[in-house]
Structure 1
Amino acid sequence: MKTDTVTLDDVDQGLVHALQIDGRAPLRLIGQALGVSENTVARRYRRLRTAGILRVVGTLNGASLGYNAWSIRLQCTPDAATAIAKALAARPDTSYVYLLSGGTEISCSVQTSTADESEALLLHKLPRTSRVTAVSAHLLLGSYALPNNWAGPARLTPDQAALLTPPPAEATDVSLEPADRPLFDLLSRDGRASHTELAAATGWSESTVRRRLTVLRQSRVLTFLVDIPPAALGFRAEARLWMAVHPSRLTVVASAMADHPEVSLVAQTTGPTNLLAAVNCRDSLDLARYLNERIASLDAIRTIETAPVIRTVKRAGALLPLARDDGGVQPERVGEMPARRGRARGGGRS
């Protein structure tokens, strides 16, 4: 279902903000914060989730385990961009897969646990077809804003938010075990899956599931994100910005942008540009104002490249078997893309 077929009222938007604060907050507690009944919250959540508008997903926070986070850019031939984007989205290690600009560029995020895994992904798995004409990879070196603290969904008062805010996480050492895989797999599809469902998926008892969830959340290894199109909240112009910032002012610029309500991600990166940002604006005119006024006032930014998001193929969570709009063609695997003569070129734009 398209985003513009569902209108979010004040209760719906309060629910989104509540889930942003704690994706697994009890519906009773959310109702108390919003001043409505638990049944009302349950109906609203089911309605939005069934419409494909709202989902809570559990994700691995690789930073807490020392993983590397990458932003990948691929230049493709026009006839292949959609298929390649869907193939990337089908991978379990990708998130935030977008078609950009004129539909010939793909942007996605990847976490890798080791240098060998990074090399295998970046050098062998991605550019496996001549339809990919250029690939560039940018290691994220620092984060100042993240998707789950984007100010766009904010609707609750500080007192309402305080009712839902979980206790501070504790710095504890946790290592992932193979037995955790089914837990993360289910949570990546439904972050509000019940303890009963999680127990069935893992083969653990419900008490074991509760304890493991507590440990993973307290150690920040497991985090819950609200998966919602910004357009559902009235932000219909998304863009990615790649900026070259004077090194001595990089932290100042990044910190300033993190306070902009339009920004959902800003991070230092490697590559010809050294700062990446994701911005969400009301419309194209709002985006132009943001660039010409807010960004232009940061004079340490020497160059900027703006790429509008044309289509979102994947956000934070795993792909779900929803109705397809491509005539029934399933995504191909990246390593199985049909190749034409010629070889992919590396070293594309940053």
Structure 2
Amino acid sequence: MEMESHTFDKLDLQLVAALELDARAPFSRIAAVLGVSDQTIARRFRRLSAEGGLRVVAVRDAERLGQSQWMLRLRCAPDSAETIAEALAKRPDTAWIGLASGGTEVVCMTRPRSPGDHDDLLLGKLPRTPSIMEIRAHQILNRFFGGPTGWISRFDALTDEQIAALRPRLPDPSGPVRIDPEDEPLVAALERDGRATYPELQRATGRSESVVKRRLAALLASGAVYVDVEYHAETLGYACAAVLWITAAPAALHSVGEALATHDEIAFAAATAGPSNIVVTAVARDTAGLYAYLSGRLGTLEGVQHVETTPFLRRIKQLTYARPTR
């Protein structure tokens, strides 16, 4: 796939692609593989953080942990949608919050860590909010694309040799896929800053550096946690994003999902429960590009019966909400 960046140049794309492979890789290793100096990589990282919204954060993989995950659609009074979105963004169990449908709808991904979290949000707080006129909840059943697999991989910014050199060498997973209570301070520190140094993690957890290294390696190897990269797609020249609620024929559900996972425009795709059975996030350069995708590659995909398009007006939250202090 060939994509051209408006703000990112080739080295910027290579840096973000390297971070998607191993977000904790030392700048020295990234620099050696990309053939530039350590100082150049550090300078690019700082600039992308300041201008492109680049952040590295740890994410709990709800699918691997066997936890429920929901996509919510909240139809709101027009003057209240932003306030509701901001309130949701402050919750630790939410991600990917956007204002949509001209500012009358909030789309939100929830990652409840316990049944109590889920009940508190869906059965407690949201129904009692008078400015919310309708709640639709779609449980995520199967992820086709997204999570540890990042959208930057679509750009083919790295050669196969560079990918092999950068891919982290993790131990074979031997333990269960879970986050133990004693791991919570470690994961919380990485949720604030996925590139926190081992001495910083040692101070945050009160555990020895060797234990921190061992536990982090085990969590990453099991897939309970992955370290992800967030950035503003607009800096790549992709200013148009939308959630697509797709209805596929039941017999074609998996094949449609697998096909969508290969489409360049798709940043996330999953099978869901609810009125539709697939939800995807599509990214395009502009509305013309989104229309071309809807009427072309998606519209002709065998098994697709219906598509509802919800354009994002503004993103409120990606993976995390508060900016890190360091």
Name the residue aligned to 1:212: 215
- Inter-partner Cα distance in structure 2 for 1:27 and 1:321: 19
CA distances 1:180-237 after superposition (whole Å, capped 9, x unpaired): 2222222112110111111111111222211111111111111011111111222111
Name the residue aligned to 2:192: 189
Aligned pairs, number: 317
Name the residue aligned to 2:85: 85
Q: Does 1:228 align with 2:228?
A: no
1:152 deviates by 4.1
Q: Percent identity?
A: 40
**Contact residue 93 and residue 113 of structure 2 kept, 8 A:** no
- Inter-partner Cα distance in structure 2 for 1:24 and 1:321: 16
Match for 1:215: what amino acid?
Answer: A
Q: Does 1:273 align with 2:273?
A: no
**1:1-350 matched pairs, under 5 angstroms:** 7-51=7-51, 53-147=53-147, 148-150=149-151, 151-167=153-169, 170=173, 172-320=175-323
Relative to structure 1, is the Cα distance of residues 224 and 294 closer, same or farther in structure 2, using a 3 angstrom cutoff?
Answer: same
How big is the alpha-carbon RMSD for the aligned residues of Structure 1 and Structure 2? 1.8
CA distances 1:278-334 after superposition (whole Å, capped 9, x unpaired): 111111111110001011111421111001111111101242279xxxxxxxxxxxx
- Inter-partner Cα distance in structure 1 for 2:203 and 2:46: 22
1:174 deviates by 4.4
CA distances 1:146-194 after superposition (whole Å, capped 9, x unpaired): 0533244541111111111123652531442333222222211211011
Query: For 1:264, what is the secondary structure of its paired residue?
Result: strand
1:50 deviates by 3.0
Match for 1:104: what amino acid?
Answer: T
Query: For 2:124, what is the secondary structure of its paired residue?
Result: helix
- Inter-partner Cα distance in structure 2 for 1:214 and 1:44: 27
Relative to structure 1, is the Cα distance of residues 201 and 321 closer, same or farther in structure 2, using a 3 angstrom cutoff?
Answer: closer
**Contact residue 76 and residue 133 of structure 1 kept, 8 A:** yes
Query: For 1:44, what is the secondary structure of its paired residue?
Result: helix
- Inter-partner Cα distance in structure 2 for 1:52 and 1:25: 20
CA distances 1:35-62 after superposition (whole Å, capped 9, x unpaired): 1111111111122223352111111112
Match for 1:149: what amino acid?
Answer: G
Query: For 2:242, what is the secondary structure of its paired residue?
Result: strand
**Contact residue 173 and residue 218 of structure 2 kept, 8 A:** no
**Contact residue 189 and residue 318 of structure 1 kept, 8 A:** no
TM-score normalized with structure 2 length: 0.92
Match for 2:193: what amino acid?
Answer: D
Q: Deviating runs (4+, > 6 A) in structure 1?
A: none
Relative to structure 1, is the Cα distance of residues 186 and 86 closer, same or farther in structure 2, using a 3 angstrom cutoff?
Answer: same
**Contact residue 58 and residue 317 of structure 1 kept, 8 A:** no
- Inter-partner Cα distance in structure 1 for 2:268 and 2:324: 28
Please identify, of 77-86 and 113-122, the stretch whose mean Cα deviation from structure 2 is larger: 113-122
